[in-house]
Structure 1
Amino acid sequence: MNRAGFIIIGLTLCLVAAEAVADVVAVVSAKNPVTTLSKSQVVDIFLGKTSRFPYGSQAVPIDQVEGSAARDEFYLKFSDKSPAQLKAHWSKIIFTGRGQPPRDVSNSFEVKKFLNENPNAIGYIEQSAVDGSVKVLLSQ
């Protein structure tokens, strides 16, 4: 194959990979009274810096599984942390006894299911998965 063929294949693969990662949004249950949070408030909840919503209720962050495209995109876009930086962050927090990382579930459907069962939970899902069961707090 010639050089132009490799370039075309490479560009096609890049476009396919870019489409595979959808926009990720921070969400809560439609039953949760929170209507909006700032980027820093969302990040503080997910990084264990705060455990409460602004109105005082417990905030329970829910991650998607390590290595998932949604998780990687969420942390890169919202906290500017790579997967390695996130792992280092939680290793330090766990080692010093200051907290535990969020519970994780397998995908956006499971996040919505958990939010429905736990109105104080907060998670992130692909924007395409948003429906009436959740409220979008923040998109990037």
Structure 2
Amino acid sequence: MKKITTFFSAMLLIISLSACSSDFDGSRTGNDTQLIMEYTEFNTTDTQDLVVEAGDIIHAEIVVEDGHLSYKIQKDDEEPIAESEGIFFSVEYDFDVEESGTYTVTVTGENAKGSVKFVVESAE
């Protein structure tokens, strides 16, 4: 009986470990003017604060090779200046910023493979 219990315990452990997947497998660069990520697996949420002056542009390039991606760009608790959910294709946008401040970029992946780039481009 002990051998059967040990066998089933070992099998359960093997099955549970093989079912685990990584939340993020890729590279990430982020600072106050950019968020750049390339990944083969993205199943989590990541954020980056960008410091933006009035008149600047936040340039976004989103490549979705597989899965879905959502993003939001928001200053404090104000209405987001940009938001999209469930993106399953590649897109490129420029977002005009009317008010200086720190804007938080939030990106969420669901079985996503691809890349994102959010870069502050100066109006000067």
TM interval, short-chain normalised: 0.3 to 0.5
Bigger Cα Rg? 2
So what's the TM-score if we normalise by structure 1?
Answer: 0.31
Q: Report which structure shows greater RCO (CA 8 Å, sep ≥6).
A: 1
TM-score scaled by structure 2?
0.33
